[in-house]
Structure 1
């Protein structure tokens, strides 16, 4: 539930740890069942996979098909195309790989991806595709059938995955977040607990202490963590160990903490939790997709309520009936039905992807806007100016040049230094340079203002802003550039630091260039909208809406944001 509240924007900034708790519980339950059947000599891979199919596939198939139908009615072509691709990935059990390659889980475009949450299902599916086979092969060796050797083996796998996760959050953060090798240790936490057959705690105070510590290990990160915390890595240990502690504390007798978690409303949420996870994210995405202002608390609560209703219907009409297994052991009909369901999702996803989101379903006004925007995007694609200029490229004079050709042996007549806003304006600078027959250069980096002494607070900014600035200054000095244009989202950086600090850095920067005999031209920021303006207009045109509700920014609001500058 904390995942749902986190996604709905109703508190719990670290609510994403709910997925990690789910992994631990899943690992414990499934490993317990597998080992029970293996030890009894009744385990069958076909039986196991059939149970997994009955548990997972019916509900997710219906959810994906309903999401595709809603996407057809509500999404713009580019987003429907992406939805089709993600449906293909889900049908092939590689959603996590797809979103690793395309999406930052904490990025601004997540509310355009209704199936983003299926990444965790793919992690679980991949784990249970290989884990039972590993256990069967392990148990063929008499020594490894014993508890201690099995725990040692699982512990080694756990350690390898955890170490990889700790390394990955710094070196490959997106891959570490989405992929099985760096998430397997969370499932193996539950597996280790099941394989160790740890005896339940007989001491009441030990049981209660462990249970409450476990609950704190889950809730504290849910309140304290946010998107800036490197995750999973070591940060995922508290919620995972917390979940394991609660399971162990209640192995023989229920603790008070578990009694609270076993209250009727909480038990009901547990029953529908899978369907709730499936439906909450599409509901949130489609609600956010059409917003032009921030969602109210009432709207956010309504999203949760609608998700609960859909989850209840899914549990009663789909989950529960399909879990019941008919008499006999005929696996073929179940597997055939599963393949058919996956092929349906795959086919629809391929159609939406290959048709480019089928733009002809749009009203004429929206279709006209789409073509216009595509033309602009194509022009920008032809403008090969890198967003992030590396310091070593600047040191080697390999920067993006614009305007007229300069005489050999001379530098550009002006240099644009700035962040992504300066990069966005680069085509305009080139047009002006061509018109006035002058030469220029563009040196930019996302989330990094062109200020001497700036220390980045944004993870998307330059790793070493001091080196970036010093190399940029040396480039200006070395090439005898007479004019430097500084452009950035100044108001944003004023919010990140302070007016006094930004003023000092700006004065120092201008003084440094001035001492070199360079003229400094400071450009103000254009109006900054809280929404994607072309996309909002497209969405309005989708339903032939007027511009009355367009989120215009008044001159007063713009001046207010720029007041500090």
Structure 2
């Protein structure tokens, strides 16, 4: 969600300053801050980024077009100005994040921060985050540089946009028509992707370019001669247009939430609203009396550094709160501090480096510094976060990857991966699920190694991050969620040696509402607790179990393990910028069973009822992992039970997850 780089277009850049544009920026940046700090109150605040895209396209295209008209167009000058505008504040924020991370983050967290520093310095954060996960998942909130995704989109756009304008100008092609044509293509791609690949639609520069192009089209339209009949009408209706623009923005803030398929058609609200306010001009009703207000203009003038500072502060606060929402006073304090840092950044750093003499030298030095901070970020990532810098960290918090054991081999059937480990028995157990099925694989590997003659062969069909229920999918179709259940069923039908089928997943998280939906080919229903999609998905899973039973298979249904940030080994760490992270002997860690039941008791009851009604054999990990009062995070010897908030630690699973033994061996091994 970056802010427009040319924050205050001055007369020296051939653009008369408009205070109302800074006021519009202020509304956008404050809405973004509100959404990030208080998402339950400012639910649609994230659309502020779309406003920024429009403003950016409008200002930059205006400047480029005037330079073309006056024959002062220079790519070198364009990129030099952008370096002096963007790099100073960005280098400062990246450097501070790297230093702060060194003193406060664990190795895996610091390595990920290094990766994001490198991608931020290279302006490809959107592409890196696209490959990692969704913007709205919980993990995203603990990525201090998540917000640089939009800066990546802008810079990728501006690599090509000046060239397109220059070529069209010299080929005497109508610039407005070229812009509108590209806008249509980008918007069409956005609509095509927004239902099936929401994450791709959100992060791709191709699906976001239309918002920048919309601002560019307005800039070119306003520059045309002679005025049209619409201009005559608009000049008499500026008050109406400005009010309509504000209504569209407010409607967007109220109607658009993170549950919407955004951007899609919904992005029209902020885009059209911003366009109308820009077109209405600084003397129109809303622009003159609201957007030109001194307070809003001041926030608009610091909007770029304010945006850069606010998210790292909020994100680090969440990390220090074990991944949970920080207390309200901490979030308010982070916003106040970000405003102070933004103001200081502007008056001390930006003003001295953006303007004045020796522009070429400044640009070169800034480019070298950006390369240096990017290289340091990559080195941090390559060195796994420099784990040697940490002291007094117990082995239970060591970084371990969740992956299939080396003893399994991958087999692709019709393009779908299955992971297989053979025992001396032909009979086979097939595990179907997400990463909560995957984390059982170390135990199965151990059982086959220990008793190959008494243990079934095992095969895992895994789709990480997917709800293992038929006729369900995820908002980003690239995960392949819809293929998991039908591919697995076909595999069962084609392999008679499969004796047992085990269904395992993070039911609590998926069914609480994290982007999955039920799709029967006719209608789509979002899956949230007790929703229509929730009930349809449970019914479909029941039918799936019956189908497996009719094929002669024993079906086991594995209920959820306890989940929660309280179970994460990192919950036991006291973080401090004054001392390296240290273990707290008084903080044993664990989740009360009462709290677990209050969060997920309804889902648990519904799953048990569904499994019993359809004759599945229930496996309940909670009976092994919890007492009547507590689900501990470590066993009696101090060994970590959990890898993170939602997965068993591979070492614990291999040695002690005996609740799953009956799925592969008749004589259960304790």
Say yes or no: TM over 0.5.
yes
The alpha-carbon distance between structure 1 residues 272 and 166, as it changes in their structure 2 partners (threshold 3 A), is same
Aligned partner (choices 151, 158, 167) of residue 192 of structure 2: 167
Instruction: Give the number of equivalent residue pairs.
Output: 540
- Structure 1 gap segments, 5+ residues each: none
Aligned to 2:391: 363
Structure 1 pair 115/520, CA: closer, same or farther in 2 (3 Å)? closer
Paired residue for 1:57? 87
Contact persistence 1:402–1:442 (CA under 8 A) = no
Say if 1:82 and 1:481 are closer, same or farther in 2 by CA, change over 3 A. Answer: closer
Q: Flag the 1:554–1:93 CA change in 2: closer, same or farther, 3 A.
A: closer
**Preserved contact between residue 403 and residue 434 of structure 1 (Cα < 8 Å):** no
Aligned: 1:487 with 2:504: yes
TM-score (norm 1): 0.83
Q: Does residue 80 of structure 1 match 2:98?
A: no
What is residue 382 of structure 1 aligned with on the other side?
Answer: 406
Note if 1:428 corresponds to 2:443: yes
Residue 125 (structure 2) pairs with residue 95 (structure 1)? yes
Contact 2:199 2:475 in 1 (8 A): no
Name which of 355, 360, 384 aligns with 1:324: 355
Structural RMSD (CA): 3.5
Task: Please list, as runs of the form range in 1=range in 2, the aligned pairs for 1:425-464 lying within 5 A after superposition.
Answer: 425-436=440-451, 437-439=454-456, 440-446=458-464, 455=472, 462-463=481-482
What SS does the corresponding residue of 1:96 show, helix, strand or coil?
helix
Q: Look up the match of 1:9.
A: 38
Quote the offset at 1:359 in angstroms: 1.4
CA distance in 2, matches of 1:500, 1:126: 43
Question: Are positions 1:544 and 2:582 aligned together?
Answer: yes
The one-character-per-residue Cα deviations of 1:448-472 (angstroms, maximum 9, x if unpaired) are 6666x66557766832676357536
TM-score (norm 2): 0.71
Distance 1:433 1:538, change over 3 A: farther
- Partners of 1:164 and 1:197 in 2: how far apart? 27
Alpha carbons of structure 1 residues 258 and 505: separation in structure 2 relative to 1, 3 Å: same
The question of whether the paired residues in 2 share the 8 Å contact of 1:216 and 1:242 is answered with: yes
SS in 1 for 2:424: coil
Match of 1:339 among 355, 367, 383: 367
Q: Aligned partners of 1:505 and 1:155: how far apart in 2? A: 45
Residue 253 of structure 2 aligns with which residue?
A: 222
Label 1:383 to 1:550 Cα distance change in 2 as closer, same or farther (>3 A): farther
Query: 1:95 and 1:504 mapped to 2: Cα distance?
Result: 40
Picking from 194, 219, 244, the partner of 2:219 is 194
More helix as a share of residues: 1
Structure-1 separation of matches of 2:584 and 2:538: 42
Unaligned runs of 5+ in 2: 1-29, 513-527, 609-670
Give me the whole-angstrom Cα distance separating, in 2, the residues matched to 1:111 and 1:221.
23
Structure 2 SS opposite 1:364: coil
Q: Find the counterpart in structure 2 of residue 528 from structure 1.
A: 563
Structure-2 separation of matches of 1:137 and 1:516: 64
The 1-side partners of 2:235 and 2:595 are apart by 61
**Residues 361 and 427 of structure 1, relative CA distance in 2, 3 Å threshold:** same
The question of whether the paired residues in 1 share the 8 Å contact of 2:433 and 2:503 is answered with yes
Q: Which residue of 2 aligns with 1:299?
A: 330
User: Equivalent residue of 2:590, what SS?
Assistant: coil
The 1:472/1:551 distance shift into structure 2, 3 A limit, reads farther
Indicate if the aligned counterparts of 2:182 and 2:210 stay in contact, CA closer than 8 A.
Answer: yes
Contact 1:283 1:303 in 2 (8 A): yes
Higher-strand-fraction structure: 2
Deviates more, 1:504-513 or 1:220-229: 504-513
Task: Provide the rounded CA distance (Å) in 2 between the counterparts of 1:248 and 1:167.
Answer: 29
